Structure 1
């Protein structure tokens, strides 16, 4: 009798179904058996199946995955199936109905029904042992579990759910931030609405008597200068026409009609219009860098007369009583024509400097004679065209530390003036002239430069003038801005100026320079400002920037 080798007894081979389970990629087990050991194990298995009583768990010779694989592998099988929520035999997810529906056996372990039935058929359809614990069960012991829904795990879906959940939380935080921002904006809107109401009230109290009303608002690009015809309630403005050629044109606006502005073509040699003056008769004159002093018919809407100038014109005014029209030139001189004879000038007067005459008014002197009041960088000057005075008279002393950029006077009077100054950057006369020429460029500057307005009064009945008081403010660094004195009440006046920081018009009471009100602000700085009144009592204040023109009726 052949001797049998003694040693550790190896577990029996697993049936094909369980062997497939053991060949899963969760682990790799390889067991070798000898022929004698296989025969011995088969004999033990037959004896075990013939017993009437079920064997206890863990009895040697019992066929199970637990015994065949050892404790470590058994734990890995159970944990792997639990992690995947799947049948521990085929490692496929079970269902709530159908052939592979979820079921259990008396030991409590759960499988897919089709896997248990295949296992029973493999064992002879009578009984089999639990693949996990080894307890024996019969077909009648299989119990269906009625789960309303069996979740099939999907790692990608779980990741997407986690991602969407995180994104939802992030969006929730964003919504909260936006809600807070909207709340702050609503509070700011309430504040702005209150400020606008105060602004409207301020505009309505412009004259402190009666009220002022915004008569018209026009949106136009490229406007530079303007003038108001108070009698006919029209506005004449000049700028470049839109398009490739960008010719210089006049725009005629009606303050009572809803029609669009009328576009009036100018002669090609006109070039940039520097100043416009509306005469009481209803006609207009304007000067341009094309060395022209032009007369314009407001009824025919065309240029009816042109006077040649020796230098580019920067300012203009007219004295209809003597039928004289006057132009301030870029070289600092003054040239006067009789409108009835324009072939040659009536007077050509030399100025006190070579800087442009940027402002020109016709006024009545204290003795009743008409004179021309001008302003250049050196300050305001008085011109006497009827007397023997060959050159103008400087109203104030020479000050090399400042540049005069604007001059306003009470209508038809030289008794009350306001001159605006900015600090002088360069000291030479040529450098000063170069500063003035920059004003041809309407490009808005930054926040402006600290300058001041100076109140100038006539000293008694003499021809002398003195500076009364000043008011500091931000003025343009490059432009020769316009200003105006507006009469109201009993010999009371307001001073209006395009404030650089406000980008709108600010008014002060004279002579105290007490701030009175601010009119509507614009997107761009104010380029021109005009006041006009008619013999019928109509009074208007208008101002413009590069994109908007506004006009107020003063009541």
Structure 2
């Protein structure tokens, strides 16, 4: 009865009639959660406590219905050609990677003040940058990391807007990230499945290069918290490609990388998010395309504006790391409406004194959906501008900031920290 009551608001608060696809998705999610309970997996009402479900908001405009501890829309920012972004908590600004003059135009960065959003500053990039595939602001200092198809990895100062270091890569970069535990290390995921580790104190070449276990492009690379390191000095990252998830260990001579078996049969992995504090790992998948017995994964190339795709039934899957053996366990999954072409970003909302959430776009309704972890039950739906491209969560001063990039609009949602 508890699970049923959680799904009723999907119908009660909906501002538009549900499609047959939506109804099927919700019912399948309900049946899946009920089967989890019956299977004896650790799923109890306590999993969903600590986050007030009495104020659930579904398909509502903010301000029209109270949603305790929920996120409220603060502002909509029009940013033409926006592709990726990240939040610089040190400077209280947002860095946005934009493509100018349509699909063939060059890229530039736009820096926007979070205190005065009308204040913007454009940062020109070299023409050799080509398509930007990832943008990450350092959690340690006023620096930004750019991965591009131009076989370059850039380190920029968000304070002076100057490029500090440019690394040449053997092939195009699809993703990048900063080490969470050491400000000197950064990582790049490449188109051929390789992962490179760089030390900012060495500007010529990577300090370690690992050949991929597959040749699939690595569209997401995330640094793992040091709390999970087995031995001192080991730096671990988690990556995602169309095949699934892979764990990598840098700075060690033993097992350096392994595929996570639990993720290889879920479909095509299109998104990966991680909460360093809560330790939650959530990956999103879409179905594989099979023709005459041959498995054909959808293309991972960047689609044109006329090929934004459509919603298909996929899934969000929650994983946890188990013990000191650096192994992963699939806890549960839920049905989701995902895009059949694009690779949208998602985020784990690592909240203070509240249950963590998973934030991802719904390709059918266009909402940014917040699901409570670990139960993966919808607790809030935020109206976006369709086709969610990128989502970031950050904590600034005494507020939580949830930023969502959809088309040419960056929406800023906030919630006061408890």
1:120-131, aligned counterparts within 5 Å?
A: none
Match of 1:388 among 247, 253, 257: 253
**Mapped pair 1:403 → 2:262:** no
Deviation at 1:440, TM superposition (A): 4.9
**Mapped pair 1:470 → 2:367:** no
Residue of structure 2 equivalent to 1:554: 415
Q: In 2, distance between residues paired with 1:492 and 1:443?
A: 39
Residue of structure 1 equivalent to 2:392: 530
**Mapped pair 1:303 → 2:168:** no
Question: CA 1:503–1:392 in 2, change beyond 3 Å: closer, same or farther?
Answer: same
Cα contact 1:203–1:519 (8 A) shared by 2:
no
Cα contact 2:143–2:158 (8 A) shared by 1:
yes
1:32-68: CA deviations, max 9, x gaps?
A: xxxxxxxxxxxxxxxxxxxxxxxxxxxxxxxxxxxxx
Deviation at 1:439, TM superposition (A): 3.6
Deviation at 1:219, TM superposition (A): 0.9
Cα contact 1:202–1:518 (8 A) shared by 2:
no
**Mapped pair 1:518 → 2:381:** yes
Question: CA 1:247–1:489 in 2, change beyond 3 Å: closer, same or farther?
Answer: closer
1:400-439, aligned counterparts within 5 Å?
A: 402-411=267-276, 415-426=279-290, 431-432=296-297, 435-439=298-302
Deviation at 1:489, TM superposition (A): 4.8
Q: In 2, distance between residues paired with 1:528 and 1:227?
A: 9
Cα contact 1:400–1:424 (8 A) shared by 2:
no
Equivalent position SS for 1:344: coil
Cα contact 1:508–1:517 (8 A) shared by 2:
yes
Q: In 2, distance between residues paired with 1:343 and 1:429?
A: 42
Q: In 1, distance between residues paired with 2:62 and 2:388?
A: 19
**Mapped pair 1:200 → 2:62:** yes
Residue of structure 1 equivalent to 2:243: 378
Q: In 2, distance between residues paired with 1:453 and 1:279?
A: 27
Question: CA 1:247–1:366 in 2, change beyond 3 Å: closer, same or farther?
Answer: closer
1:458-488: CA deviations, max 9, x gaps?
A: 2345422111111101101111111111123
Match of 1:346 among 207, 210, 221: 207
Deviation at 1:252, TM superposition (A): 1.0
Q: In 1, distance between residues paired with 2:65 and 2:91?
A: 23
Equivalent position SS for 2:301: helix
Question: CA 1:344–1:421 in 2, change beyond 3 Å: closer, same or farther?
Answer: same
Equivalent position SS for 1:269: helix
**Mapped pair 1:234 → 2:234:** no
TM-score (norm 2): 0.77
Segments of structure 1 that go 5 or more residues without pairing to the other structure are 1-190
1:488-529: CA deviations, max 9, x gaps?
A: 35462111001111223111111111111111221x411111
- Larger fraction in helix: 1
Cα contact 1:233–1:256 (8 A) shared by 2:
yes
1:145-224, aligned counterparts within 5 Å?
A: 198-201=60-63, 205=67, 208-209=68-69, 211-224=70-83
Question: CA 1:265–1:384 in 2, change beyond 3 Å: closer, same or farther?
Answer: same
Deviation at 1:377, TM superposition (A): 1.0
Considering only CA atoms, is the larger Rg found in Structure 1 or Structure 2?
A: 1
Residue of structure 2 equivalent to 1:284: 144
Greater RCO (CA < 8 Å, at least 6 residues apart): 2
Cα contact 2:113–2:120 (8 A) shared by 1:
yes
1:491-502, aligned counterparts within 5 Å?
A: 492-502=355-365
- Larger fraction in strand: 2
Match of 1:540 among 384, 392, 401: 401
1:203-256: CA deviations, max 9, x gaps?
A: 973xx43x5343432112211111111232211111212489722111111111
Residue of structure 2 equivalent to 1:84: none
Question: CA 1:389–1:426 in 2, change beyond 3 Å: closer, same or farther?
Answer: farther
Q: In 1, distance between residues paired with 2:303 and 2:190?
A: 14
Q: In 1, distance between residues paired with 2:314 and 2:58?
A: 28
Match of 2:124 among 265, 282, 285: 265
Q: In 2, distance between residues paired with 1:302 and 1:272?
A: 19
Q: In 2, distance between residues paired with 1:314 and 1:203?
A: 40
Residue of structure 1 equivalent to 2:351: 488
Cα contact 1:216–1:255 (8 A) shared by 2:
no
Q: In 2, distance between residues paired with 1:244 and 1:525?
A: 17
Matched positions, count: 355
Residue of structure 1 equivalent to 2:9: none
1:134-170: CA deviations, max 9, x gaps?
A: xxxxxxxxxxxxxxxxxxxxxxxxxxxxxxxxxxxxx
1:131-146, aligned counterparts within 5 Å?
A: none
Cα contact 1:355–1:436 (8 A) shared by 2:
no
TM-score (norm 1): 0.59
Equivalent position SS for 1:488: coil
Deviation at 1:530, TM superposition (A): 1.4
Segments of structure 2 that go 5 or more residues without pairing to the other structure are 1-14, 17-56
